[in-house]
Amino acid sequence: MNIFTIINIFVMLFLMVLLYFMQKKYVSFSKRVFTALGLGIVFGFAVHFIYGASSETTIQTTDWFQILGNGYVKFLQMVVIPLVFISILGAFTKLSLKHSIGKISGLIIGLLIATTAVAAAVGIASTLSFDLQAIHIEKGDAELSRGAELKQKSVDMEAKTLPQQVVELLPGNPFLDFTGARPTSTIGVVIFAAFLGIAYLGVKKKQPEQAELFKKMVDAVYAIIMRVVTLILRLTPYGVLAIMTNTIATSDLDSILKLGKFVLASYVALIVMFGIHLLLITVSGLNPVTYLKKAVPVLIFAFTSRSSAGALPLNIKTQRSLGVPEGIANFAGSFGLSIGQNGCAGIYPAMLAIMIAPTVGQNPLEPSFLLTVIGIVAISSFGVAGVGGGATFAALLVLSALNMPVALAGLLISVEPLIDMGRTALNVSGSMTSGLVTSKLTKELETDVYDDHTNIIEAEM
């Protein structure tokens, strides 16, 4: 470790002390997260321009910073599977839901799939507006290597038919899924928890005493898990600071500038789709500004961490601060991890399909082709993992279904992290919007809580 790395570590420690001082002065959670984001960007650019993105000092510095950044994300991932399981199971044992769980689940899933289809259309429109084509992108060693890797993954996936892939979603061994061993482990845990919940409802009618005992056990575990979540979320500003610093310090700015048109088109699509989320909230009779104010912390975290799964605890807490009943918040947050991710499974694969179409002689403006892309994107959005790599998995599914060369998706590897930040934030927003709109449609939204600007997650952070 050289002297410059040590200096950088001391700067990071100073910034952490500053954030801690803000916490002791009772500065709001949102402001601390925003401050951490800004400090991370500035510090990251400083490291990048002083030492260079690939210098030994930068590599050593970011390696040490990963203890804080990646360590924080790992703590969140640690609690995700237990939280998904107990959240779904708790939705069945809690008596706060006035409507059937089947109806509520159907509405949430329907909204997630519908918004993903809309997101695909938005991605298509943005791609055509900016005239993006894969043949215009330069192929370097990194792009070719990534393309070969994606091609191999595609070959492995093509070995299974669509019905076989559907069967893969089912939890043959739920305890294996609790380890997160499969790409679809999250949805496997959701299905297993749902079966236990349905069994609980049956036992409740015939053996109420045993059902009550089971409910108390679930409630106790839920309380403990949520307390663990609160303890971890208090580390959010520090995690955001380290993650953002590393992202900026190691970014290939030259490649980003070369692919600036694609980055711009992607963020235009993401912003438009986020506007559609706000429109849905407005049409539901709610103030979108209130949603923005309360959703900022979780959206910032999703943006910096690039992990929808990691953002789940903050997602559920934010929905509760918006007046969404606990059961619906649990369902929307958990389902949103693997179904209908607007950014990763909607906009991204649709944009790739339109960009690659001309290389195989397909007219991207053909109406039947456009409808096919939207339909395949919507169907393929089931089972996309809510962790890093989910967008790649979705792209492979869509491009393979359209018989397009998946290797061309590797051309965007240099800007992938930058775009993935916005995609993840949109995924989380789509999940929360589905919970919010479902609560409003079923008349279970606590509007007084939604309008209460003091009822925000800062209270516990």
Please state the φ and ψ torsions of residue 56, each to the nearest 5 degrees.
-65, -40
Instruction: State both tokens at 68.
Output: 């804080």
What's the token pair of residue 212? 């009550």
Report the pLDDT value the prediction gives residue 99, as an integer from 0 to 100: 59
Q: What distance in Å separates the CA atoms of residue 453 and residue 129, rounded to the nearest whole number?
A: 39
Q: Are 445 and 347 in contact (CB under 8 A)?
A: no
Return the SS3 of 339.
strand
* Nearest alpha-carbon partner for 347 in 415, 267, 404, 255: 267
- What pLDDT tens digit does each residue of the chain (461 aa) get? 789 899 999 999 999 999 999 988 888 877 888 899 899 999 999 999 898 888 899 999 999 999 998 898 888 778 878 888 888 888 788 655 555 777 888 899 899 999 999 999 999 999 999 888 877 565 554 544 555 555 555 555 555 555 666 677 778 888 888 887 776 777 788 889 888 988 998 898 889 899 899 999 998 998 898 888 888 888 888 988 998 898 888 877 776 676 788 889 999 999 999 999 999 999 999 999 999 989 988 898 888 877 787 788 888 889 989 999 888 888 888 888 778 889 888 898 899 899 888 888 888 889 999 999 999 888 877 756 544 456 777 777 787 778 787 766 666 666 777 888 899 999 999 999 999 999 999 888 988 899 887 666 654 55
* ∠ Cα 241 296 320 (to 5°): 120
- Can you give the pLDDT at residue 459? 44
CB 360 within 8 A of CB 135: no
Q: What is the per-residue DSSP string for 185-231?
A: HHHHHHHHHHHHHHHHHHHHHH-HHHHHHHHHHHHHHHHHHHHHHHH
Residue ranges covered by each domain of the chain? 3-460
Is residue 86 classed as helix, strand or coil in its secondary structure? helix
End-to-end CA distance of the chain: 35
Among 110, 436, 131, 429, residue whose Cα is nearest residue 272: 429
Is residue 321 within 8 Å of residue 455, measured between CB atoms?
A: yes
Helix (H) or strand (E) holding 46: helix 29-51
Given a contact cutoff of 8 angstroms between Cβ atoms, the answer to whether 82 and 313 are in contact is no
Burial 121-141 (b: 16+ CB within 10 A, else e): bbbbbbbbebebebeebeeee
**What CA–CA distance (Å, rounded) separates 372 from 164?**
21
pLDDT in tens, 349-359: 899 899 888 88
**Class for the domain spanning 3-460:** mainly alpha
Q: How far apart are CA 260 and CA 43, in angstroms?
A: 23
- Report the distance separating Cα 334 and Cα 268, nearest Å: 27
- Residue 391 has a CB neighbour count (10 Å cut-off) of 27
* Predicted pLDDT at 63: 92
| Amino acid, res. 92 | F
Phi, psi of 382 (to 5 degrees): -80, 135
For the chain, state the CA radius of gyration: 22
Work out the angle at residue 9's Cα, subtended by the Cα atoms of residues 5 and 15, and round it to the nearest 5 degrees: 145
Q: How far is CA 204 from CA 199, 208, 211, 219, in A?
A: 9, 5, 5, 15
Residues 351, 330: Cα–Cα separation, whole Å? 31
* Beta carbons of 90 and 97 less than 8 angstroms apart: no
Q: Locate 182 and state its tokens.
A: 């499969």
Q: How far apart are CA 343 and CA 335, in angstroms?
A: 15
Backbone phi, then psi, for 25, in 5-degree steps? -90, 10
With left for phi above 0 and alpha for psi between -120 and 50, is residue 306 left, alpha or beta?
left
Residue 456's pLDDT is: 63
pTM for this entry: 0.80
CA angle 412, 415, 419 (to 5 degrees): 105
CB 61 within 8 A of CB 248: no
